[in-house]
Amino acid sequence: MSDTAELVVNKTCHMQTSSALSAEETERMGAGIVAALKTVFDPEIPADIYELGLIYKVDIKDDRAVDVEMTLTTPNCPSAAELPIMVENAVASVPGVGVVNVNIVWEPQWVPDRMTDEARAVLNMW
């Protein structure tokens, strides 16, 4: 490989990408998604799933599809079947959001340290 070809390869590896959505639209959708997630409560715990730290990642795609990675407090959670559907419905209710995919992940494992101070106050876990 010539020096020129290597230079081209190295430049393409460090290319910056941009979203088809404006920064304002991404910010609006992101805020709406967080607000929607805060309406979803684990039926056994009086705190919303966002404050509990169950949401690991929200990815807004260029086509407005949204991928959500979340976990549960335990693999044996009795709400394991219904919580992902509740999350999907809540996120899908945000104006401008397209298809929503919710994936349950187990790594990293959820620990109480992921909770916000708001959730700790509601659960009296200081």
Architecture of domain 42-118: 2-Layer Sandwich (3.30)
Please classify residue 30 by burial: count the beta carbons closer than 10 Å to its beta carbon, then call 0-12 exposed, 13-18 middle and 19+ buried. middle
CA 11 to CA 51: how far, in whole Å?
41
CA 61 to CA 17: how far, in whole Å?
13
How is the chain split into domains, by residue range? 42-118
Q: How many CB atoms lie within 10 A of CB 36?
A: 18
Q: Which residue has the tokens 């304002």?
A: 24
Q: What is the pLDDT of residues 63-114, one digit of tens each?
A: 999 999 999 999 888 888 899 999 999 999 999 999 999 999 999 999 999 9
